[in-house]
Chain A
Amino acid sequence: MSAPYVTWQCRTCGYIYDEAAGDPAEGLAPGTRWSDLPDDWICPLCGTAKADFDMVEL
């Protein structure tokens, strides 16, 4: 059984990346795991680096 989907949040602007929903506008299909986003991926709303996101429970 695969691990449950989790959500990550940008520390700068509060943008939420939900693995279950992905972000189709950014070309990320539903189900895309955080670990599958490249290290140089940046927040689509404010440009914050991937390293400056926190895993959050909503």
Chain B
Amino acid sequence: MFSFCTDPSILPDWQWFACYLTNATHLQFYRAFGVVIVLLAITAPAALGMGLLGALALRSRIWPLNWLGQGYVNIVRGVPDIVFFLFVPIALGQGIEWVMHQIHCPDWDQPIRQGNDFIVCREAKVPPVNAPAWVRDIYAFGMAVTAFALVFGAFVANTLYGAMQAVPKAQIETAEAYGMTRRQAFRRIVLPQMWVYALPGLSNIWQILIKATPLLFLLGIQDIVYWARELGGQKTSLFAYPHPDWRMWYFLGLLCFYLFLTWASERAFARLNTRLSRGQATAAGERMRKAAAA
């Protein structure tokens, strides 16, 4: 990184640290923080979408749909999430390969589960056998996102369902009195207004989502926990930058990163709440109206 980094063993302390903290593996470590942010940025809308579908299913009057929603929400919420985080990627991966196997090799005569092996034909492998490394990385990451979206979708569904129920009934009745259909009333009255009721629950789920991101490590993705362990471990003099066991300091850094994330999002949600309360038929909205009038 810097021109003076050619021989780190003779450098004074501050230069040694400047070189150490900017070497190639550290840059990968910093990139891993970006991966966390990307995961959050993709998972949050995905979970919101899943949650919206789940909440609609919970509201539905068609009973198979309603049961599907009930089952989804209650099963995911009743079991430790970590079970789902490890279950969904494997189960989904095997499911996809099984479907591909049925499509590509219909005349395969051996069983797929032979003892402890899961064997599909060569064409059915996902990602393909000769796929480059980055495709495999994206695939693994996509599986992780799916698992996160499934689990958090159930939480969001529950929150949104509650929020939809919380929109004052009188407003929906007024809409129907104006001749709107059930669907129109939902789209024009309930959907825009439910967010203010959903926000406290959603902000809670967001905080939990942030705190769930280190579990990526368990899915075998090279995330910040992986790099903190790798970089922090003791390095002998064989390495360019020998140092004793520094894992504690790396994990302290991760703690600070997460504390900052939760602190910042708490503030952001407080502002969003003020924004959404404007003109609402809630105590906060009423207070803002009075403040503006005075």
Chains A and B belong together in one complex: no
Residues of B within 8 A of A (CB): none
